[in-house]
Amino acid sequence: MAQREGAPVAGGGTSEDGSFSYGFASFRGKRAAMEDFHHASTTQIGGKQCGFFGVFDGHGGARAAEYVQNNIFQNLSAHPKFESDTAVAIAESYNQTDQDYLKSENAQNKDAGSTASTAVIVGNKLLIANVGDSRAVISRGGQAIALSVDHKPNRSDERQRIENAGGVVMWAGTWRVGGVLAVSRAFGDRLLKRYVIPEPEIQEETIKTGDDFLILASDGLWDVISNQDAVQLVQSVTDAQEAAKKLTDEAYNRGSADNITCVVVRFLH
């Protein structure tokens, strides 16, 4: 069914054991094509409550983002080290999914790529993995704490890594890899693959009392709403779906012209 421009998509649910609830919302934005995708699901593995959440912001077409959305968590949850070493399983699933995507697209969609900001809950563990400039932010007692650092080409360690691989970071409206791409890590992007890697930075946390909620969102949201503003906007919104919708609506009202997608996970303790 074709969607009316500006029509938001929203939904949500609660984990089987009642330890967290989640909601998502997506706004088509002011331009024609939607290149943001998200995932939210829960299941139990080895007797532990698990949650899988992700925001995937595509560029150069929707193909890469859609592929990552459809495959990454399936590959991760079936990974032999999912329970014993979740961080390694996540890193390998990111790598595997990128290779599978490039293989499946062969010579097509050379410029298509995607970010991935993912959150995996396994029992009381929370693992945030990031590639690109979508971002994960947690609210702890009302304080916003970023759990990922955007992969921008002018981040000094990223610029160094790219230059060591023989690439260049150039100014073209913003800082870009090879003067083309405004993120320094991504899925896809076949022509820049030597520099634009799918290796995630992973942060592992233990979910504690005082952890209120987590926000994953694309840059369409973070470009116009600060981390702390986002936390304050939904602090008192207990319904995670309402919270996600409020954030995307606010980003739109503040004039974001990009795709806007966000996922909110509320810890219920």
Ligand X SMILES: *[C@@H]1O[C@H](CO)[C@@H](O)[C@H](O)[C@H]1NC(C)=O
Enumerate binding residues for ligand X (CB under 6 A): 28-29, 31, 33-35, 59, 74-75, 78, 95-96, 99-100, 152, 154-155, 174-175, 199, 258-259
| Closest distance of CB 266 from ligand X, Å | 27
The distance of closest approach from Cβ of residue 78 to ligand X in the complex, given in angstroms and rounded to an integer, is: 3
**3-class DSSP state for residue 148?**
coil
Helices (H) and strands (E) in the chain, counts: 6, 15
Distance of CA 13 to the CA centre of its chain: 19
* Smallest separation (angstroms) from ligand X to the CB of 230: 19
Structure tokens at 33: 């094509």
C-alpha to C-alpha distance for 70 and 45, rounded to whole angstroms: 20
Given the structure tokens 């009392």, which residue do they identify? 209
Four-CA torsion 37, 183, 128, 250, nearest 10 degrees: -60
Q: What b-and-e string marks burial along 28-60, b requiring 16 or more CB atoms within 10 Å of the CB?
A: bbeeeebbbbbbbebeeeeeebbbbbbbbbbbb
Residue with Cβ nearer ligand X (175 or 187): 175
126 vs 183 by CB, closer to ligand X: 183
Query: Whole-number minimum distance, CB 239 to ligand X, in Å?
Result: 26
Measured from the CB atom, the residue of 102 and 215 that comes closer to ligand X is: 102
Q: Shortest distance, CB of residue 17 to ligand X, whole angstroms? A: 24
* Residue 34 or 87 having the CB closest to ligand X: 34
Cα(239)–Cα(234) distance, rounded to whole angstroms?
Answer: 9
**Least CB distance to ligand X at residue 241 (A):** 21
Residue closer to ligand X, measured from CB, 150 or 211? 150
Measured from the CB atom, is 5 or 229 closer to ligand X? 5
